[in-house]
Chains A and B, each alone.
Chain A
Amino acid sequence: MIIYGVTLLAVCTLTGITAGKILGTLIGVPANVGGVGIAMILLILAGSYLNKRGLIDVKTEQGVEFWSAIYIPVVVAMAAKQNVMGALTGGPMAITAGITAVICGFALVPMLARIGQDKAEETEKTASQATSA
């Protein structure tokens, strides 16, 4: 049933967000410490465990997949509720600071991607061999 998938997703989300909140309180940070990340890992682990045991049918999967597909509209709605005017009226310093941070981030992607790339390439090769075979 579709609702089983939605329930699995809901339970994982709530557990993860709660864990993130507790973790935040424990280390004294006024933010959720990786709640979404923890929830995702829970869903990945629960999903593969249930899959191996054959406990997930197509309908159950659809319950999760619907929300995964609705993700882009959610992001569009999120963009539509940003304080864009606030960002643009923040003055040249705020804009320059934001732009500089983004440029640094983009520039560091290829640099960090090189770390441990050899190992990654090996596995990529084996993966592509596996798919071609």
Chain B
Amino acid sequence: MYDSLLHVTDKYNLVTAFAFIGVTMWFSYWLSGRFTKGRIHGSAIAILLGLIMAYFSGVFTGGQKGLVDIPLLSGIGLLGGSMLRDFAIVATGFGVNIEELKRAGISGVIALAMGIFSSFFAGVAVAMAFGYTDAVSLTTIGAGAVTYIVGPVTGAALGASSEVMALSIAAGLVKSILVMIATPFVAPMIGLNSPRTAVIFGGLMGTSSGVAAGLAATDPKLVPYGCLTAAFYTALGCLLGPSLLFIIMRAIAG
């Protein structure tokens, strides 16, 4: 019985994922309407549910890919993987207003630079507070606070220890997940409500998955603007991490 079920869900894994995610979304929108009168957006609840399920899946299977580690739900990996994610994000660009984008252009570039520096030095400061003193470890952990890709890329280039690399990835994961959860709640306080502020937000936070999910739960119209700047963040971080940022850290930490 289980075998034949597994056989079907394995062969039709993407279809299974559509069904599973669809039911999750229906349940989330029902929760949103029934218990919060729509104040907490259904998609925000759905994303949170996704993260909670991923956590329990990690606890029970010991894997690192959330629900994907459950054989029945392997299709989630395809639906939530980088191919369909990028395809869908690009599609959201179809509704973008070119004038809005031009107006936000320069603020977006400034936001990118400030975002990388502020995240990096926030990470470095915390690492220092926890007793790290060598430039390589500090740079790697700071780079992890930029994104969980910049961390290991920088660490590998500088020859950081695997323990420090793991910490930097964890810091980046925390950042990305927190941006997903917190953005819809913080958005009204920081005036995140226009294409221009979304471009700035995307440049400051930079974590593609965090920005994509956070803006989706705040206002789906803002998604393309934020994702456009966030698309450049990780690459810029990988460029600056092992070079300029490390040189700065070497000068400070010696």
Q: Considering only CB atoms and an 8 Å cut-off, how many residues of chain B contact the other chain?
A: 110
Q: Which of B3-11, B31-39, B103-111 contacts A (4 or more CB under 8 A)?
A: B103-111
Which residues of B7-43 have CB atoms within 8 Å of chain A's CB atoms?
17-18, 21-22, 24-25, 43
A residues apposed to B, CB below 8 Å? 9-10, 12-13, 16-17, 20, 24, 27, 29-41, 43-44, 47-48, 61, 64-68, 70-110, 112-113, 115-116, 119-120, 123
A72–B25 touching, CB < 8 Å? yes
Given A90-B171, A91-B170; A82-B22 close (CB under 8 Å): no
* Bound complex: CA A10 to CA B114 (Å): 33
For residue A108, give the distance in angstroms from its CB to the closest CB of chain B.
5
B119–A101 touching, CB < 8 Å? yes
Q: How many A-B residue pairs have CB under 8 A?
A: 324
* Residues of chain A with a CB closer than 8 A to B92's CB: 40, 68, 71
Chain B CB within 10 A, most for which of A35, A65, A97: A97
Query: Helix, strand, loop or mixed for chain A's interface?
Result: helix
* Bound complex: CA A38 to CA B228 (Å): 8
B216 partner, pick from A20, A71, A104, beta carbons under 8 A: A71
B90–A82 touching, CB < 8 Å? no
* Bound complex: CA A66 to CA B92 (Å): 10
B201–A109 touching, CB < 8 Å? yes
B174–A74 touching, CB < 8 Å? no
A100–B122 touching, CB < 8 Å? yes
Q: Can you list 25 A-B pairs with a CB-CB distance of less than 8 A? A: A9-B94, A29-B235, A32-B234, A34-B232, A37-B227, A39-B86, A40-B92, A40-B224, A65-B91, A72-B43, A72-B216, A72-B220, A73-B79, A75-B80, A76-B50, A77-B79, A82-B50, A90-B173, A92-B130, A96-B129, A99-B174, A102-B179, A105-B201, A108-B111, A109-B200
* Bound complex: CA A84 to CA B89 (Å): 23
* Residues of chain B with a CB closer than 8 A to A100's CB: 122-123, 125-126, 145
For residue A45, give the distance in angstroms from its CB to the closest CB of chain B.
8
Given A101-B122, A104-B118, A110-B191; A29-B238 close (CB under 8 Å): yes
* Bound complex: CA A103 to CA B107 (Å): 19
Chain B CB within 10 A, most for which of A61, A74, A99, A116: A74
* Bound complex: CA A84 to CA B153 (Å): 21
* Bound complex: CA A42 to CA B54 (Å): 35
B171–A94 touching, CB < 8 Å? yes
Chain A CB within 10 A, most for which of B92, B110, B114, B197: B92
